[in-house]
């Protein structure tokens, strides 16, 4: 879709920026892991023999391996403290600094890869990704989590040892996976490996969790190579152990195993894919809609309020001199973000508001938008704020055009994009059309809230790993924030399950929601001559005050600046980002043919 202002000859490549592990020099990859004919852990077949499984002893998955004596195990347990356990992981020894990796994506119509060199290259990319996560384990594991209030976020248990969180379990498993990936084992060598000693530093439950996640990763890699029968056997064991009513690790494994099972069924022709025209409209299921669960999430989980509050604070500061304000909300949902803005505008002592307009964009047939509009009208009336609500309905987001928005010449325009742009990455013409329309409308400020994760890798296994770590962090947050809200937590996780299915089970046009990180969005926005506005110190301070309103999360929820943007995280792991932008009106260079 060409345009006089933006004569792009090709759509933006959202896979062009994928992190440090995505490096060139494909030819070198096949030489790193030697003597390996099976693309997985070096085992001929993990899980093929239920009576002779060298990897997962604690779940009763094999019975014939000779165990260490009780005295020997106790001695090692005393010696293998948590600190010593961390020191066992020598991530740098697995990959050298000058080693190059590159992702390998397979077209949908290509047969399963048989070339062992290609398998090694694709696999090395996944191992490098696990290494990147694993390198952060020691710092994460043995430092105190300090939230915005400076409080100690440790969760002590007997002996001063802190119980591993779900994400830490994933990091430990990633380290274990890397260590074992470069070796070949028979039935007895597993217990003689240093990891046998390292795992003895964990509790029995933590050890079982590590082994369960290891099993899931192995199954995922089998699925990545379309070795569905072998993956089925491994996945059956995962499903037998995991439960959606157990601890966070088992719940995560349960949902990911379900998604893997769906992907296998599709790969084997047991499930027929949706019709293409139905896919985009149902993509909203992977986000948060206007139901009660999303409202309760906003009430109990800090990420949403922090990013929304900071976005609104930036709006207030950038329209301070305007008396007529018009907001285009591309994803209204429940509208809980706007009462705060209404109150702030109603309390203005200088430059009183003549009119606040909100135009909400939604799909035809979405009656909840009108219901939300009526609630907002009631709120505005309570503040005695002049207010107008307009609903714009489209059959498809690609149908958005300037004529749909009635913007007055004297109105200061704001565009609010909460968790919506990611739903258009799979349809670049749709996304670029939206950006051109917004550019021509010339907003004063554009607020973008997105998931800060890379769920758009062309490599299925890499995408699986990224999603596994991200949702592990989110499930940790749910366990903390909803500790006494078991029913609500289960409901929230059922919503998040849609996101997991989208990443793991879907492919091609079915995979509607594709989150990417800030650097990718920055490169994309630069294509449309957008520049960052940033956030004031006052806005950052106010964001930290919002975190303090969540007593259970105040010690864990973090705010970090990334350039002019802000990342909200959980125990240092990024979860959401919020950024403020404007369109530059200069006629500078256009990045027409640049692949980011």
C-beta of residue 544 within 8 angstroms of C-beta of residue 554: no
- Alpha carbon distance 240, 263 (integer Å): 18
Q: What is the pLDDT of residues 361-409, one digit of tens each?
A: 999 888 889 999 999 999 999 999 999 999 999 999 999 999 999 999 9
162 pLDDT more than 50: yes
- The residue-averaged pLDDT of 507-514 equals 91
pLDDT class for 130, splitting at 50, 70, 90? low
56 pLDDT more than 80: no
pLDDT at position 131 is: 62
End-to-end Cα spacing for the chain: 19
3-state SS of the chain: helix, strand, coil percent to 5?
50, 10, 40
Mark whether 366 and 286 lie in a shared domain: yes
pLDDT at position 77 is: 44
pLDDT at position 119 is: 53
Polymer length in residues for the chain: 596
9 pLDDT more than 50: yes
- Alpha carbon distance 311, 517 (integer Å): 18
Report residue 416: phi and psi, to 5°. Answer: -115, 120
Mark whether 423 and 534 lie in a shared domain: yes
Mark whether 261 and 303 lie in a shared domain: no
- pTM for the structure as a whole: 0.76
- Alpha carbon distance 289, 291 (integer Å): 6
Query: What is the rounded (10 degree) CA torsion for 236, 240, 241, 243?
Result: 110
Mark whether 452 and 304 lie in a shared domain: yes
- Residue 536 is part of a domain; what is its CATH number? 3.40.50.150
Q: Is residue 331 part of a domain?
A: yes
- The residue-averaged pLDDT of 222-234 equals 92
Q: Which of 237, 272, 307 is the last residue of a domain?
A: 272
Mark whether 447 and 522 lie in a shared domain: yes
Q: What is the pLDDT of residues 272-294, one digit of tens each?
A: 665 544 444 444 444 444 467 77
Q: Is residue 591 part of a domain?
A: no
- Alpha carbon distance 86, 139 (integer Å): 9
pLDDT class for 135, splitting at 50, 70, 90? low
Average pLDDT, the chain: 75
pLDDT class for 175, splitting at 50, 70, 90? confident
pLDDT class for 136, splitting at 50, 70, 90? low
Higher pLDDT, 194 or 523: 523
Determine the structural domain holding residue 232 and report its residue range. 126-138+164-272
* Weakest mean pLDDT among 1-5, 124-128, 451-455: 1-5
Q: Is residue 313 part of a domain?
A: yes
Mark whether 268 and 168 lie in a shared domain: yes
- List beta partners, residue 560: 567
Mark whether 232 and 351 lie in a shared domain: no
CA 173, 178, 179, 183 dihedral sign is positive
pLDDT at position 587 is: 54
Higher pLDDT, 190 or 498: 498
Residue 31: Cβ-neighbour burial (10 angstroms; 0-12, 13-18, 19+): exposed
- Alpha carbon distance 475, 326 (integer Å): 37
Q: Is residue 406 part of a domain?
A: yes
Mark whether 268 and 330 lie in a shared domain: no
Half-sphere exposure of 221 (CA within 13 A, CB side): 23
DSSP state, residue 269? T
Q: Is residue 595 part of a domain?
A: no
DSSP state, residue 332? -
pLDDT class for 518, splitting at 50, 70, 90? very high
Q: Is residue 477 part of a domain?
A: no
Domain count within the chain: 2
Q: What is the pLDDT of residues 13-45, one digit of tens each?
A: 777 555 443 323 323 333 232 333 333 333 333
Q: Is residue 148 part of a domain?
A: no
Report residue 538: phi and psi, to 5°. Answer: -65, -40
Q: What is the pLDDT of residues 537-591, one digit of tens each?
A: 989 988 999 999 999 999 999 999 999 999 999 998 999 999 999 998 765 444 4
Mark whether 441 and 544 lie in a shared domain: yes
Mark whether 183 and 314 lie in a shared domain: no
Mark whether 253 and 286 lie in a shared domain: no
Mark whether 215 and 326 lie in a shared domain: no
155 pLDDT more than 60: no
pLDDT at position 456 is: 94
Q: Is residue 487 part of a domain?
A: no
Q: Residue holding tokens 């080693």?
A: 99
503 pLDDT more than 90: yes
Residue 330, Cα to own-chain centre: how many angstroms? 21
536 pLDDT more than 50: yes
């Amino acid at each position: 879709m060409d345009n006089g202002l933006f004569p792009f000859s090709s759509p933006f490549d959202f896979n062009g920026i994928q992190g440090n592990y995505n490096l060139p020099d494909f030819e070198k990859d096949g030489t790193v892991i030697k003597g390996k004919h099976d693309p997985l852990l070096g085992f001929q077949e993990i899980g093929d023999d239920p009576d002779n499984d060298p990897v997962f002893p604690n779940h009763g998955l094999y019975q014939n391996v000779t165990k260490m004596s009780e005295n020997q195990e106790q001695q090692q347990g005393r010696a293998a403290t948590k600190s010593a356990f961390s020191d066992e992981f020598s991530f740098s020894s697995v990959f050298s600094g000058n080693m190059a990796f590159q992702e390998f994506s397979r077209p949908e119509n290509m047969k399963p890869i048989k070339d062992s060199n290609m398998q090694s290259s694709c696999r090395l990319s996944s191992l490098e990704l696990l290494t990147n996560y694993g390198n952060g384990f020691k710092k994460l594991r043995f430092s105190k989590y300090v939230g915005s209030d400076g409080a100690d976020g440790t969760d002590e248990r007997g002996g001063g040892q802190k119980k591993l969180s779900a994400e830490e379990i994933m990091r430990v498993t990633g380290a274990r996976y890397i260590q074992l990936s470069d070796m070949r084992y028979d039935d007895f060598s597993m217990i003689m490996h240093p990891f046998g000693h390292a795992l003895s530093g964990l509790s029995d439950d933590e050890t079982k969790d590590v082994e369960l996640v290891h099993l899931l990763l192995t199954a995922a890699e089998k699925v990545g190579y379309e070795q569905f029968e072998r993956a089925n056997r491994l996945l059956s064991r995962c499903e037998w152990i995991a439960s959606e009513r157990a601890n966070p690790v088992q719940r995560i494994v349960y949902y990911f195993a379900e998604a893997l099972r769906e992907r296998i069924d599709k790969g084997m022709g047991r499930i027929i894919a949706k019709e293409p025209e139905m896919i985009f409209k149902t993509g909203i299921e992977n986000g948060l809609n206007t139901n009660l669960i999303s409202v309760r999430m906003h009430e109990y989980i800090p990420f949403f309020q922090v990013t929304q509050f900071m976005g609104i604070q930036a709006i207030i500061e950038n329209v301070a001199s305007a008396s007529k304000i018009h907001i285009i909300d591309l994803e209204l949902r429940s509208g809980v973000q706007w009462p705060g803005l209404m109150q702030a505008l109603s309390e203005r002592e200088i430059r009183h508001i003549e009119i606040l307009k909100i135009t909400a964009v939604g799909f035809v047939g979405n009656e909840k938008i009108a219901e939300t509009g009526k609630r907002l009208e009631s709120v505005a009336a309570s503040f005695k704020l002049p207010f107008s609500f307009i609903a714009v309905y489209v059959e498809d987001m690609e149908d958005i055009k300037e004529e749909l928005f009635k913007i007055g010449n004297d109105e200061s325009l704001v565009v609010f994009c909460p968790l919506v742009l990611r739903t258009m990455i799979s349809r670049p013409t749709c996304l670029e059309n939206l950006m051109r329309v917004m550019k021509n409308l010339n907003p004063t400020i554009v607020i973008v809230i997105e998931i800060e994760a890379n769920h758009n890798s062309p490599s299925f296994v890499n995408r699986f790993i990224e999603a596994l770590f991200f949702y592990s962090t989110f499930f940790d947050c749910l366990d903390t924030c909803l500790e006494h809200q078991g029913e609500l937590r289960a409901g929230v996780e059922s919503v998040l399950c849609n996101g997991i299915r989208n990443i793991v089970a879907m492919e091609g046009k079915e995979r509607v929601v594709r989150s990417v990180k800030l650097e990718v969005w920055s490169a994309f926005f630069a294509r449309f001559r957008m520049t960052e506005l940033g956030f004031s110190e006052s806005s950052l301070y106010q964001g930290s005050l919002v975190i303090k309103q969540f007593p259970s999360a105040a010690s864990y929820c973090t705010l970090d600046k990334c350039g002019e943007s802000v990342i909200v995280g959980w125990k240092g792991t990024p979860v959401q980002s919020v950024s403020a932008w404007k369109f530059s009106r200069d006629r500078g260079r256009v990045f027409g043919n640049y692949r980011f």
